[in-house]
Amino acid sequence: MRDQEFDNYLGLVGRLLRLNSRQRSAIGHELRDHLETRLEELTAQDVPHDEAVRTALEEFGDAAGLAHTFTSLARHQQRRALMRYSFGTVVVAAAVALLVSAMMPASPQGLNPGFVSAQQQDKPRATAVNKDKADRPKPDTPLAVITPPMSEQSKATANKLVAPIAARFDNVALKDVLGFVRDAADVDIHVKWHVLEQSGGFEGDHPVSLALNRAPASLVLELVLESAEAAYTIRDGIVIVSHKSDPTLRRLEMRVYPVADLLKAVAPFVGPQTRAAGRQPGNPFGTSELGGRATRVAPSPTSHQAEHLIHLITETVQPETWSAMGGDGTAVPFGAHLVIKAQPATHREVEQFITMLRQATAQSAAASKIGR
Partner 1 sequence: MPKSHGPELLRGSLDLMVLSVLAEDRQYGYLIQKRVREASGDRVKLPAGTLYPLLHRLEADKLIRAKWDATTGRKRKWYELTAAGRRRLLRQADEWRHLADCIGQLLRPVLDNAPMANPRPA
Task: Report the interface residues with partner 1, using CB under 8 A.
Answer: 26-27, 29-31, 33-34, 36-38, 59-62, 65-66, 69-70, 73-74, 77, 143-144, 256, 258, 334-337
* Residue 284 or 335 having the CB closest to partner 1: 335
Nearest-angstrom CA–CA distance, 200 and 278: 59
CB distance 237 to 188 below 8 Å: yes
Nearer to partner 1, 51 or 62 (CB): 62
280: Cβ–Cβ under 8 A, 6 or more apart, which residues? 264, 286
Sign, CA torsion 7/8/12/15:
positive
User: Which one, 80 or 168, has the nearer CB to partner 1?
Assistant: 80
Contacts of 330 (CB under 8 A, 6+ apart): 322, 323, 340, 341, 342
Q: Specify the amino acid at residue 248.
A: T
User: What's the closest the beta carbon of residue 370 comes to partner 1, in angstroms?
Assistant: 32
DSSP 8-state code for residue 294:
G
Question: Left (φ > 0), alpha (ψ -120 to 50) or beta: where does 157 sit?
Answer: alpha
Q: How far is the CB of 139 from partner 1 (least distance, A)?
A: 16
- From residue 150, alpha-carbon distances to 162, 233, 349 in Å are 16, 12, 26
CB of 145 to partner 1, least distance (A): 9
Least Cβ distance, residue 91 to partner 1 (angstroms):
22
Task: Give the total residue count for the chain.
Answer: 372
Q: Which is nearer to partner 1, 173 or 336 (CB)?
A: 336
CB of 60 to partner 1, least distance (A): 5
Beta carbon of residue 64, minimum distance to partner 1 (angstroms, whole number): 11
Closer to partner 1 by Cβ: residue 69 or 127:
69
